[in-house]
Amino acid sequence: METNGHYQLPPLLEVKDFSLAFPSFKKGLRETKMEVIKKLNITIHEGEIVAVVGASGSGKSLLANAILGILPDHAITHGTLLYKGENIKEVLRGKEISIIPQSIHSLNPLMKTGKQVQGVIHQSDRKVVQQDIFERVGLPEDAENKYPFELSGGMARRVLAAAAMVSPAELIIADEPTPGLDPKVLKETISLLKQLAREGKGIMFISHDIDTALTIADKVVVFYKGETIESADAAAFSGKGERLRHPYSKALWNRLPRNEFFQREKEMEQKQQSGEMLEIRGISYKYGNGPYVFKDLDLSLQPGEIVGLHGYSGSGKTTMAKVMAGYFQPEAGTIRLGGKKIKKKGMHPVQLIWQHPEKAINPRWQMHKVLAETNMENSPLLNELGIQEEWLSRWPSELSGGELQRFCIARALHDGTKYLIADEMTTMLDAVTQAKLWEMVLRIAKARSIGVLAISHDHQLLQRISDRMINFNEINHVHES
Amino acid sequence: MNSINLRQRTLFKIALSLFFLLIVVIGGLFIGEESMRINMENKNSSPTLDHLFGTDWLGRDMLSRTLKGLTLSIGVGILAALSSTVIALCLSLLASFNKTWDRIVTWLIDLFLSVPHIVLLILISFALGGGFQGIVIGLALTHWPSLTRVLRAEILQMKSMDYVGISLRLGKTRLWIARHHFLPHVLPQLFIGFLLLFPHAILHEAAITFLGFGLPAEQPAIGIILSESMRYLSAGMWWLAFFPGLALLIIVGLFDVLGKNIKLFIDPFHAQKP
């Protein structure tokens, strides 16, 4: 504990045995409680960055909401939340505790960014303070007179961070501020947060991505199935994780693509396989009258081959994936499967798996209906993908992102599927789930001779899984003309 | 925690409002002509134990007339609101089909909204020869536009969802998507739309009946009772308008409670919230 003069200061934030539940109706009229957070303990001192790491859907964001006092009305909570040794009150929000939200949509679209940041400042010389902070976070001078939609994603994130920095808050909660950022912006965001910590603020960094968490945090709290199972120094995550106590946190570390990941078995190795080749010749695409997203793009996939496509966010990879899977019509060029054009009607032989499984599944459908879309309810594939019988009767909101993604994979691997495009399939998932999902997909792909195009910004991951790597900028000829 | 949970409370409220509505309807159906007979000896009597709602200027029992009228009004309201909702659903699904159909439907909505309800209502109902049938068809054909507009917007928004695109790529037909994606999504809106249309329909029925294009004057519709009693209000016979008006208000309120609780009951995402 930090000492200050003669007495010990209480920690900035202390969460003791916190639990959170929602009432729910399982069957008929009996009311049961659904426990989301069971036993949670976190301590954050001044000037400390604590990362909270856990699978998506493990209740991390709910914890942030609980600290800010913005939980839904019907939530039932127990345990203590102490701020500087006292019970947390709602009045603290904004003054003592502030949040860097997950999404840049939290900015008001109809208000200039400079004004939005000024709104947080409680001093007289608002404009000066705001201009000063914009300079410090590296925003150009004219950014304050722009609306959020005129800024790039990275710049909008910096505005959000600036708003958190100028507020007098001493505790800052950063809720997944980094997903999908390219390395340069990621580095900047991290250095911003570190700067805040150096000024003596406590920071809670919520993330599913242990890799990023380790680069920034002093302490890592691992969150699993609603409990804190480990609270370790960042340095303990090294080697083979011998200094970690819980098997899950060990797995979380070891399953990173740069560590052990998973063992490729013999049958996962590349071998000559028969089947129809997917050939893409010179396709171009643009939205409306905008500039070309990509031009004269060539790509071919062999059956049973795993191809990694690497590129940074915003480079047009997703648009290309959608064109290949038949969502958009290309402006020019051809897509042929075994020398023939793909029919428009019926099940498309090229299936796309999306980054956000919760958007790819109708929230009003029970899970068995999702599988019924492609008659996969009784497929032996479900076992292979680790989908449990009991999940079939649940609603999508009751499953985690990793579990939902399994359903998306199962649905996409119907009998007519020849090729699979995985667009950042595991970006939103934790390392353990990521390794598990790729292991399953690889095994199924090799067994059924399905070609897989894996799209990601994560170079290490692609290197581990693919037989062949392609850089998106090399095949995209849009900047040459 | 209370001894009964939210879901049980919801069910209880649904049962209670259904019960009251049923009492009114059954009461209305079983009251014969004789209880509404003209009885000049006992005319203009204020509420007594024999005649709880009093009697009118012909000595007819107002309680029986009110119940009978309510039953008739509920019938007209339900039929008209239901057919309006069905029309709205069909047109909004049609609008989701392609751009041409969308334009046609929006044009129709604008056309119908630009003419005052009551004028169209009179035209249609008059052309169909008036009476019960004329008024129900007239109401159904004039009350769909605003609901259609809401539903169309909802469905257009749904159309751009990722999971709808996936279903298309999985070879599902538009009909399948309409049935499995759109319909469950707009069901709550349909319910609310139906509920909002119901009092509207009853009031318009009363209005057009008052003007003489609707139900014949001998039928004890609430609209007729109310418009007739207006003439006697200044003579101090308050009960003629007060009780039937209050009863109409309660019925509309009951429908509101019923709709809200049914929505709570069928919607899996709001069932837990107070």
Per-residue confidence in pLDDT tens, chain A, 481 aa = 444 444 567 888 888 888 888 776 655 566 677 778 888 888 898 889 999 887 766 777 788 888 888 777 778 888 888 888 787 766 667 678 888 887 777 888 888 888 888 888 877 788 888 888 888 777 888 888 888 878 777 778 788 888 888 888 888 888 877 665 667 777 877 887 888 888 888 899 988 888 888 888 889 888 887 788 888 888 888 777 777 888 888 888 888 887 777 776 666 665 566 778 888 888 888 887 878 888 888 888 888 888 999 877 667 888 888 898 888 888 888 888 887 888 777 788 899 998 888 888 988 888 888 888 888 888 888 888 888 888 888 888 778 778 888 899 999 888 888 899 998 888 778 888 888 889 888 888 888 888 999 998 888 888 888 888 988 888 877 765 4
A23–B162 CB contact, under 8 Å: no
Q: Does A369 touch chain B (CB under 8 A)?
A: yes
pTM assigned to the model: 0.75
Q: What CATH number does residue B71 fall under?
A: 1.10.3720.10
**Which ipTM was obtained for this model?**
0.72
A346–B274 CB contact, under 8 Å: no
**DSSP conformation letters of A249-262:** HHHHHHTSTTTT--
Q: Is residue A162 one of the residues assigned to a domain?
A: no
Q: Does A200 touch chain B (CB under 8 A)?
A: no
A229 and A200 in one domain?
yes
Q: Is residue B54 one of the residues assigned to a domain?
A: no
Q: Is residue A138 one of the residues assigned to a domain?
A: no
Q: Is residue B52 one of the residues assigned to a domain?
A: no
Contact present, A94 and A167 (Cβ < 8 Å): yes
**CA–CA–CA angle A214, A218, A223 (5° rounding):** 65
b (16+ CB within 10 A) / e for A148-183: beebeebbbbbbbbbbbbbbebbbbbbbbbbbbbee
A316 and A242 in one domain?
no
A326–B166 CB contact, under 8 Å: no
CB atoms within 10 A of CB A56: 21
In one-letter notation, the amino acid at residue A333 is: G
Best of A24, A27, A29, A329 to disrupt the B interface by mutation (most B CBs within 10 Å)?
A29
A397–B269 CB contact, under 8 Å: yes
Q: How many domains does chain B have?
A: 1
From B162, B100, B159, B36, select the one nearest A411 (Cα to Cα).
Answer: B162
A74–B272 CB contact, under 8 Å: yes
Q: Is residue A155 one of the residues assigned to a domain?
A: no
Q: Rounded to an integer, what distance in angstroms lies between the CA atom of residue A304 and that of residue A273?
A: 7
Q: Is residue B35 one of the residues assigned to a domain?
A: no
Last residue of a domain, one of A233, A254, A275: A254
Tokens of B167: 């279903």
Q: Is residue B272 one of the residues assigned to a domain?
A: no
Q: Is residue A80 one of the residues assigned to a domain?
A: yes
Q: Does A26 touch chain B (CB under 8 A)?
A: no
Contact present, A226 and A39 (Cβ < 8 Å): yes
Q: Is residue B47 one of the residues assigned to a domain?
A: no
The boundaries of the domain holding residue A334 are 266-475
Report the residue from A348, A362, A374 with minimal CB separation from B181.
Answer: A362
The torsion angle over the Cα atoms of residues A161, A165, A169 and A172, rounded to 10 degrees, is 40
Q: What CATH number does residue A15 fall under?
A: 3.40.50.300
Nearest CA in chain B to A325: B169
Q: Is residue A127 one of the residues assigned to a domain?
A: no
Q: Is residue A352 one of the residues assigned to a domain?
A: yes
Q: Is residue B42 one of the residues assigned to a domain?
A: no
The boundaries of the domain holding residue B182 are 6-29+63-266
* Chain A residues close to B169, C-beta within 8 Å: 325-327, 347-348, 351-352
From A268, A177, A162, A267, select the one nearest A216 (Cα to Cα).
Answer: A177
Q: Rounded to an integer, what distance in angstroms lies between the CA atom of residue A60 and that of residue A223?
A: 8
A272 and A230 in one domain?
no
Contact present, A204 and A12 (Cβ < 8 Å): no
* Chain A residues close to B162, C-beta within 8 Å: 354, 356, 359-360
A87 and A217 in one domain?
yes
Q: Is residue A462 one of the residues assigned to a domain?
A: yes
A463 and A350 in one domain?
yes
Strand partners, A14: A43, A82
Q: Is residue A135 one of the residues assigned to a domain?
A: no
A226 and A328 in one domain?
no
A199 and A313 in one domain?
no
A366 and A245 in one domain?
no
b (16+ CB within 10 A) / e for A269-302: eeeeeebbbbebeebbbeeeeeebbbbbbebebb
Q: Rounded to an integer, what distance in angstroms lies between the CA atom of residue A147 and that of residue B161?
A: 26
